[in-house]
């Protein structure tokens, strides 16, 4: 059996025992495992199709998922035009899907699932367009439209950090990445050093620019986050909402440090809302450590790392390695500031991103063969 699946079973065993200890019944403890299994199901699907070399099935599956993302994004945009704060309200629980009417039968990404999935997918796809990797004209047009719709959805969803991460990643992809991993990593280091030097010597200019940009997003959380970032860089504090977020991170960290090995999940029956008594609910990694402790977290960290390394190894020395790595880095960053073990996000990370290079290769061959015949 693959090592990562042994680690998955170890985590499931830990999760099940924790559920029983917390007072849940046998069936309820099994439901905990099944819920997490659904989140990991994109990884299982990818492994099945990839190892059995079912290229055509992968193409159909990947394009179908991207089409669904477009459909849900358009629905999201429609809803957000009439209820501008719907995405954030869904995430906070202050509004429910049924309150948004019949237009929202499929939801709008659970509040932030869709936004952060797009936050990983958009920069990833920008690299394919920028480096002219996609040869099929129709598919290239579809991906270009996907990027435009994705960016607009992120802006309308009004997630400040999602917006900032997407814009920074797109700029990085457009001006730095060329598809060669070692050179891209060198450019990344140099660009970070350059940005640090520029921000040090031209801090006032940069913060003034951020404030000017924030005026384009008046009365939105994106505008608020940009202003808080500008004032924070000036040393004037990051604002109440950002400071509160830092307090939530500290809450999760303190819970983890006080319950180092087994966490507090067994005290709350692994219920998300009961867990908010102990963790902040705004950082997947800190919350996970607080809820599951080291004994539960280490298997998850290891099997996720093994899977991501498997994908990178599969595309070693290819032009696909850099865009995949960018998406994985974004996943880690997003998980530091918000929750990421959500189905919509994991579909993007564990299924669409590793399948997409296979789709591109398949369609490129078809396109070139069709051209040579004509």
Chain segment 241-278, per-residue pLDDT in tens: 667 788 888 999 999 999 999 999 999 989 888 888 89
CA distances from 2 to 41, 53, 307, 310 (A): 16, 18, 10, 11
Torsion sign, CA atoms 145, 147, 153, 158: negative
- Write phi, then psi, for 320 (nearest 5 degrees): -90, -15
Query: What confidence score (pLDDT) does residue 109 get?
Result: 45
Q: Identify the band that residue 67 occupies on the pLDDT scale cut at 50, 70 and 90.
A: very high
Residue bearing the bigger pLDDT, 46 or 190: 46
Measured distance CA(267)–CA(293) in Å, rounded:
12
Cα angle 144, 146, 148; round to 5: 70
Q: Identify the band that residue 108 occupies on the pLDDT scale cut at 50, 70 and 90.
A: very low
**Residue showing tokens 């055509």:** 56
- Write phi, then psi, for 134 (nearest 5 degrees): -85, 125
Can you tell me the mean pLDDT for 116-127?
93
Q: Locate 183 and state its tokens.
A: 């050179």
> What separation, in Å, do the N-terminal and C-terminal C-alpha atoms of the chain show?
48
Measured distance CA(69)–CA(117) in Å, rounded:
9
| SS3 assignment for 198-263 | HHHHCHHHHHHHHHHHHHHHCCCHHHHHHHHHHHHHCCCCCCHHHHHHHHHHHHHHHHHHHCCCCC
Q: Locate 193 and state its tokens.
A: 């050093």
Determine how many CB atoms are found less than 10 A away from the CB of residue 253. 17
Exposed/middle/buried for 255, CB within 10 Å: 0-12, 13-18, 19+?
A: buried
Is residue 324 within 8 A of residue 97, CB to CB? The reply is: no
CA distances from 176 to 104, 195, 264, 352 (A): 39, 13, 43, 23
Span 301-333, pLDDT tens digits: 999 999 999 998 998 878 888 889 889 989 999
Measured distance CA(338)–CA(332) in Å, rounded:
10
Q: Locate 149 and state its tokens.
A: 């719709």
Torsion sign, CA atoms 177, 178, 181, 184: negative
Span 124-167, pLDDT tens digits: 999 899 888 898 899 999 999 999 999 999 888 877 778 888 88
Is residue 290 within 8 A of residue 278, CB to CB? The reply is: yes
Measured distance CA(61)–CA(40) in Å, rounded:
17
**Residue showing tokens 């996943």:** 331
Closest of 234, 196, 227 to residue 213, by C-alpha? 227
Rg (CA), the chain: 22
3-state class (DSSP) for residue 93: coil
Span 203-242, pLDDT tens digits: 677 777 777 777 777 666 677 767 776 666 656 556 666 6
Measured distance CA(80)–CA(86) in Å, rounded:
6
Provide the whole-model pTM. Answer: 0.85
Closest of 93, 6, 10 to residue 296, by C-alpha? 10
Measured distance CA(367)–CA(137) in Å, rounded:
9
Give every CB contact of residue 247 below 8 A, 6+ residues apart in sequence.
Answer: 280
């Amino acid at each position: 059996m693959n090592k990562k699946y042994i680690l998955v079973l170890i985590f499931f065993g830990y999760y099940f025992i924790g559920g029983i200890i917390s007072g849940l019944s046998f069936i309820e403890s099994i439901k905990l495992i099944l819920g997490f299994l659904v989140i990991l199901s994109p990884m299982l699907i990818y492994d099945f199709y990839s190892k059995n070399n079912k290229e055509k099935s992968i193409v159909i599956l990947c394009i179908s998922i991207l089409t669904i993302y477009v459909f849900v994004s358009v629905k999201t945009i429609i809803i957000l035009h009439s209820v501008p704060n719907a995405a954030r309200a869904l995430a906070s629980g202050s509004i429910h899907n049924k309150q948004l009417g019949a237009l929202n039968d499929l939801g709008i990404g659970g509040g932030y699932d869709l936004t952060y999935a797009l936050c990983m997918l958009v920069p990833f796809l920008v690299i394919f367009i920028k480096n002219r990797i996609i040869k099929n004209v129709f598919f290239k047009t579809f991906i270009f439209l996907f990027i435009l719709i994705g960016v607009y959805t992120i802006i309308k969803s009004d997630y400040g950090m999602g917006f900032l991460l997407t814009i920074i990643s797109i700029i990085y992809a457009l001006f730095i990445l060329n598809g060669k991993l070692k050179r891209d990593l060198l450019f990344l280091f140099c660009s970070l050093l350059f940005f640090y030097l520029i921000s040090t010597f031209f801090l006032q200019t940069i913060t003034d620019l951020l404030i000017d940009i924030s005026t384009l997003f008046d009365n939105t959380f994106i505008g608020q986050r940009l202003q808080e970032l500008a004032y924070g860089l000036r040393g004037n504090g990051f604002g109440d909402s950002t400071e509160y977020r830092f307090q939530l991170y500290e809450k999760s960290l303190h819970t983890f440090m006080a319950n180092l090995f087994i966490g507090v999940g067994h005290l709350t029956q692994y219920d998300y809302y009961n867990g908010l008594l102990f963790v902040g609910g705004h950082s997947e990694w800190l919350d996970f450590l607080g809820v599951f402790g080291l004994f539960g977290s280490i298997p998850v960290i290891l099997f996720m790392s093994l899977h991501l390394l498997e994908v990178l190894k599969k595309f070693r020395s290819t032009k696909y390695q850099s865009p995949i790595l960018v998406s994985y880095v974004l996943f880690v960053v997003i998980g530091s500031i918000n929750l990421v073990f959500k189905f919509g996000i994991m579909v993007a990370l564990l299924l669409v991103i590793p399948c997409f290079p296979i789709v591109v290769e398949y369609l490129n061959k078809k396109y070139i063969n069709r051209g040579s015949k004509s």
